[in-house]
Amino acid sequence: MFDTPYIQQRLQKAQALRQAHKNPYDNQVQRTLDNAHFLDKFSDLHTKDEPKDPNSTHALVGRVRFIRLMGKACFIKIEDQSALVQVYLSQNDLGKESFEDFKKCVEVGDIVNVIGYPFVTKTGELSLHASAYKILTKAIVPLPEKFHGLSDIELRYRQRYVDLIANPEVKEVFKTRSKIVATIRRFFEDKGFLEVETPMMHPIAGGANARPFITYHNALEVQRYLRIAPELYLKRLVVGGFEAVFEINRNFRNEGMDHSHNPEFTMLEFYWAYKTYEDLITLTKELFNTLLHALNLPTILAYQEHQIDFNTVRVLGFKEALEQVGGLVPDTIDDPAKLQAYLGSQGVRLEGLISHGKLLAEAFDLCVEHKLINPTFITEYPIEISPLARRSDSNPKIADRFELFIAGKEIANGFSELNDPIDQYGRFEEQVKAKESGDEEAQFMDTDYVWALGHGMPPTAGEGIGIDRLVMLLTNSKTIKDVILFPAMKPENKDSHA
């Protein structure tokens, strides 16, 4: 594993440190300031004419990013999480033996502890004049030759730690992601929602139409499914009397990967008793306004080749969207045979008996979704593709449901919840029939959930928002792999450690 010539040279240097009774993995750290605070604290040292104060001693730590040797002196740059700082080391200050050890043993990638006083170089750069140093961590694997701006996409995703070292802007994406999640949490807490945690291993895969990952519980001797959605557990809590709950959760769906899908992903789901899907649309608009403000983003947001105008938010019915955006005529939309023929002519492969609702969903995916650039709430979904949503009082063939699309991607899905246990049982039966007919994404029968509804769930509205896609949008990231620290990757080979 560590058998390349460069690594062997570094291992020899680590061994030389041990022989000199110096631990190449020292755990005793002195640190008085992080690098950003050092630069801020002494930012008033503007010129090289400022008097030096060797008694103003500070200790910094960081990874060596640059070394420039100049005979009996050298400059290095070290980077911690906060900033990059230049350090000056010389034989006069360190002593000949210590300085020679530095030249022999310290390399780019090592993590060091330096002690000294602030000063400004002849070129006007605030730096640390070192009086002592030590290696805290000897890096035995060298950074890629051109790690300043590492561009190998596969390597960046497989070895995110190298990516974070090489590309500082990547850290900013994940700092923003953390701020987005924190803002969402604060938003819902301020609204009176309770954050909860629900199981990640389920006896029945439910809450969404998706293929699950399957595992096995040895102690119970039963099969379990990794959570595809927390929905049915969260609604059980509403039955139990919690009127406003939310969970920021990890879900797992055994499906393909592309620029907007990862088999392991993060969702926000929340449920609000005595509210409707229309209340959720209003709340979702408010949430986006809060996020834009918290991140100091404009209401007209650049995303890839688009300009997303959050001042222009529209609500459009499902069939209206097929007509106005997708260009389909009502005669095709309303006739399953004609619709299936049209989809076939467009290269959509459909096998077996396909319901009208499923055909409409295929047509929407093909003709409409990618065209919805500005925020658009699509409502009035077919009931056949909404097995957990409440039927509309005015039209039992459609659901009180919406999905939010931005930049051609689904960002949120919400609806007034179905709380009629008899209707829900019938919907599950239809899902079971679909699964028996070959639909691997159809849901299982969940009799315990139906029994829970039998105890009475108040009128409730619920919504899920994909955190990963939301972060993509708000950080102008092209692919979901850019906003997940360790995305799923195809193995390089069976013996690969990456």
pLDDT at position 495 is: 53
Fold designation for 5-143:
OB fold (Dihydrolipoamide Acetyltransferase, E2P) (2.40.50)
pLDDT of residue 46: 67
Residues of the chain with pLDDT under 50: none
Is 247 labelled a binding residue? Answer: no
Superfamily of 165-313+374-482 according to CATH: Bira Bifunctional Protein; Domain 2 (3.30.930.10)
Query: pLDDT tens for residues 445-486?
Result: 899 999 999 999 999 999 999 999 999 999 999 999 999 999
410 assigned binding-site residue: yes
Contact 399, 415 (CB under 8 A): yes
For residue 453 the two structure tokens come to 């509804």
- Which pTM does this prediction carry? 0.91
Report domain extents, the chain: 5-143, 165-313+374-482
Distance CA 31, CA 10 (A): 26
